[in-house]
């Protein structure tokens, strides 16, 4: 069997490596020629050491990066589906382009699998017509289905190998072909959906549920402040009920999935009202964190604030839709800059940002000592293990002020309070 993976981003490259390291001949294709050139030089450009080594093993064995798509028994589409703010939904340009690319090399008997996160109906309503524009008939000549990836950055390889899979095919033969493709590679269970649209819906439902649950926890945090209640203690007590499992509050939600995927369910019916409200609650949390800081120090004028942690969650390197980064921007920082350092560099500003995990070269990060030196306040934006291990006495010796805002529950509040800090938490 031969496989061609279309799209060598984080998931596509990991997926291609999974099959290649299992002994399958895999061609990896991406429209970004720079991606292919780096891979041909042996540079995966990923931030997870275990995954990086795994990809390098694949490149040395059965994974061949290519500037052109190749005919193959199986085509797996792992292209981006960015959020289209204007239309409040998914931009399916890359999926359509990938479909046309696959159609050019498609043969009778081939299998096509879409893994990209898409609105319900995309596989059958958009991809299938593109693939069947020639003489091949979907379901008769070509197997087609949808199976979403459900991995978490920072634990990609483990979750690819162990997470359950959902498969939705256009017919029973397609389901059988796709199941036989993934079954040898995962210790998780393969669940069969009624059709591709159901499988697409399930992926979005999973992420929308987490977004709503986080919004509920954040709402409780806002209410608890008004009552003078420690919300985390209250949630812990509430969770003693056998049918209650409330999540922890935080400064918002980030990453590529939770802030984006609920929008892909919008169908114009008005039925997404709850999802829309949840997204609004979570998107306003960075502003609330800034207000917490303002309440603690009265005025931000002439104050220096260190934001520690600008990845979207603890112990990951991904900064997409990061609440910590949004907090830094709300504070008026000039150090969060998408320009190259030579085109502006450091200007005088009120905010410094530090993150031991972030790998986005566009961000002008500074070492921890530089970030907190002379700072009037610190805000923790991500719960990295490195921050949990900080010595409050050492940080106190470098700071000018004693204000700490910890919306991610990463530090020991009692220890920091003993060192004279005014610690504000969610």
Which residues are annotated as catalytic? Answer: 203, 257
> Which residues is 380 bridged to in the sheet?
308
Residue 376 vs residues 229, 352, 353, 354, 397: alpha-carbon distances, Å? 26, 11, 14, 15, 12
Nearest CA among 227, 232, 268 for reference residue 250: 232
Distance CA 399, CA 412 (A): 18
Q: Contact, 146 vs 123, CB < 8 A?
A: yes
Distance CA 359, CA 347 (A): 21
Query: Which phi and psi (to 5°) does residue 258 adopt?
Result: -60, -40
Nearest CA among 179, 171, 160, 1 for reference residue 73: 1
| Three-class secondary structure assignment of the chain | CEEEEECCCHHHHHHHHHHHHCCCEEEEECCCHHHHHHHHCCCCCCCCHHHHHHHHHHHCCCEEEECCCCCCCEEEECCCCCEECCCCEECCHHHHHHHHHHHHHCCCCCEEEECCCCCCCHHHHHHHHHHCCCCCCECCCEEEEECCCCCCCCCHHHHHHHCCEEEEECCHHHHHHHHHHHHHHCCCCEEECCCHHHHHHHHHHHHHHHHHHHHHHHHHHHHHHHHCCCHHHHHHHHCCCCCCCCCCCCCCCCCCCCCCHHHHHCCCCCCCHHHHHHHHHHHCHHHHHHHHHHHHHCCCCCCCEEEECCCCCCCCCCCCCCHHHHHHHHCCCCCCCCCCCCCCCCCCCCEEEECCCCCCCCCCCCCHHHHHCCCCEEEECCCCHHHHCCCHHHHHHHCCCCEEEECCCCCCHHHHHHCCCEEEEC
């Amino acid at each position: 069997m031969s496989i061609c993976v279309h799209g060598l981003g984080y998931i596509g490259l990991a997926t291609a490596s999974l099959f290649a390291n299992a002994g399958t001949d895999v061609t990896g294709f991406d429209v970004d020629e720079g991606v292919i050139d780096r891979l041909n030089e042996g540079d995966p450009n990923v931030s997870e050491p275990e995954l990086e080594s795994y990809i390098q093993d694949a490149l040395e064995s059965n994974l061949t990066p290519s500037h052109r798509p190749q005919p193959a028994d199986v085509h797996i589409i792992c292209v981006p589906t960015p959020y289209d703010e204007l239309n409040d939904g998914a931009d399916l340009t890359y999926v359509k382009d990938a479909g046309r690319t696959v159609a050019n090399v498609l043969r009778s008997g081939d299998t096509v699998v879409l893994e990209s996160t898409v609105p319900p109906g995309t596989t059958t309503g958009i991809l299938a017509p593109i693939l069947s524009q020639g003489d091949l008939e979907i379901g008769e000549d070509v197997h087609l289905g949808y199976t979403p990836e459900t991995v978490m950055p920072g634990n990609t390889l483990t979750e690819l190998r162990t997470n359950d899979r959902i498969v939705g095919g256009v017919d029973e033969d397609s389901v059988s072909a796709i199941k036989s493709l993934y079954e040898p590679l995962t210790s998780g269970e393969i669940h069969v959906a009624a059709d591709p649209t159901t499988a697409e819906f399930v992926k979005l439902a999973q992420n929308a549920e987490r977004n709503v649950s986080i919004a509920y926890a954040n709402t409780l945090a806002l209410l608890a402040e008004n009552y003078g209640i420690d919300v985390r203690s209250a949630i812990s007590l509430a969770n003693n009920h056998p049918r209650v499992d409330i999540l922890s509050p935080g400064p918002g939600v980030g990453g590529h999935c939770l802030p984006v995927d609920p929008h892909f369910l919008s169908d114009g019916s008005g039925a997404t009202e709850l999802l829309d409200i949840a997204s609004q609650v979570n998107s306003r949390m960075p502003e609330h964190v800034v207000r917490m800081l303002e309440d603690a120090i009265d005025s931000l004028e002439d104050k220096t604030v260190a934001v520690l942690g600008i990845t979207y969650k603890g112990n990951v390197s991904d900064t997409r839709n990061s609440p910590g980064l949004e907090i830094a921007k709300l504070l008026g920082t000039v150090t969060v800059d998408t320009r190259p350092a030579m085109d502006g560099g450091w200007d005088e500003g009120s905010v410094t940002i530090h993150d031991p995990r972030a790998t986005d070269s566009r961000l002008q990060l500074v070492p921890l000592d530089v970030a907190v030196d002379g700072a009037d306040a610190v805000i923790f934006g991500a719960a990295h293990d490195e921050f949990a291990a900080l010595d409050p006495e050492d940080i106190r010796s470098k700071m000018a002020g004693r204000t700490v805002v910890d919306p991610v529950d990463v530090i020991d509040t009692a220890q920091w309070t003993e060192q004279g800090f005014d610690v504000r938490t969610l």
